[in-house]
Amino acid sequence: MTIVLILIVVLIILIGLWFILTFNSLVRLRNEVAQGLSSIDVQLKRRADLIPNLVEAVKGYAAHETAAFESVSTARAKALGAQTLDEKAAADGEMQQAVGKLFAIAEAYPELRAVEAFTQLQTELSDTEDKIAAARRYYNTTVRAYNTKQQTIPTSLIAGMLGHREAEFYRLEDDAERDPIKVELGA
């Protein structure tokens, strides 16, 4: 009888340890997902902070391109005001298109490309875009790991009970945002 009791106690302890380890791994992954989203936010904010300087640099040479400047300002406002993941992704896509148009306008003005301040801003923005892409990849990788952990047995048996829900991937809102940017420079 004592051997059966010892086996039951050992089994309960092992199940308890598994439960604790599973809970801790889910919490760790959920925190990594939150950290990944925070990294995206930091880089999007950095890009939004660079935009006004870039707009001012281009404005001096292409003051008649007001529609492009307005679209950049609108996209920046949306990016700064985005709260949900879907809003952030949509605003991110709009911002990419607006900045692309701004760079296309700048290409039409060789004297602007020769200005060191503009070149430096362009380099910083390009670097920021690379960091945003890296932050998106990191976020989506951690979301995949978190969701996979929740959906596989035996973790799936307790993930819902523990309040863990599937995280959303960061993706472009609209297929049109994947298309190359089209710029028309009016005469």
Average pLDDT over residues 121-145: 92
Return the exposure string of 107-132: e unless at least 16 CB atoms fall within 10 Å of the residue's CB, then b. Answer: eebeebeebeebeebbebbeebeebb
Nearest to 169 by CA among 26, 36, 25: 36
For residues 86 and 88, what is the distance between their CA atoms, to the nearest angstrom?
A: 5
For residues 109 and 131, what is the distance between their CA atoms, to the nearest angstrom?
A: 28
Domain containing residue 112: CATH number: 1.20.1440.20
Q: For residue 10, is it within any domain?
A: no
pLDDT value, residue 157 = 86
Q: Which residues contact 22 (CB under 8 A, 6 or more apart)?
A: 154, 155, 158
- Split into its structural domains, the chain has a count of 1
Average pLDDT over residues 140-165: 92
Q: For residue 110, is it within any domain?
A: yes
For residues 149 and 186, what is the distance between their CA atoms, to the nearest angstrom?
A: 53
Q: For residue 5, is it within any domain?
A: no
DSSP 8-state class, residue 152: S
Residue 113 has pLDDT above 50, yes or no: yes
Q: For residue 71, is it within any domain?
A: yes
pLDDT digits (tens, 9 = 90+) for 23-60: 999 999 999 999 999 999 999 999 888 888 888 877 77
pLDDT value, residue 174 = 54
Q: For residue 159, is it within any domain?
A: yes
Higher pLDDT, 84 or 111: 84
pLDDT value, residue 7 = 94
**pLDDT confidence bin for 172, thresholds 50/70/90:** low
Q: For residue 160, is it within any domain?
A: yes
CB 26 within 8 A of CB 162: yes
Q: For residue 31, is it within any domain?
A: no
Please give the backbone phi and psi of residue 67, each rounded to the nearest 5 degrees, phi first: -60, -40
Domain that holds residue 120: 36-178
Q: For residue 82, is it within any domain?
A: yes
**pLDDT confidence bin for 185, thresholds 50/70/90:** very low
Average pLDDT over residues 56-68: 74
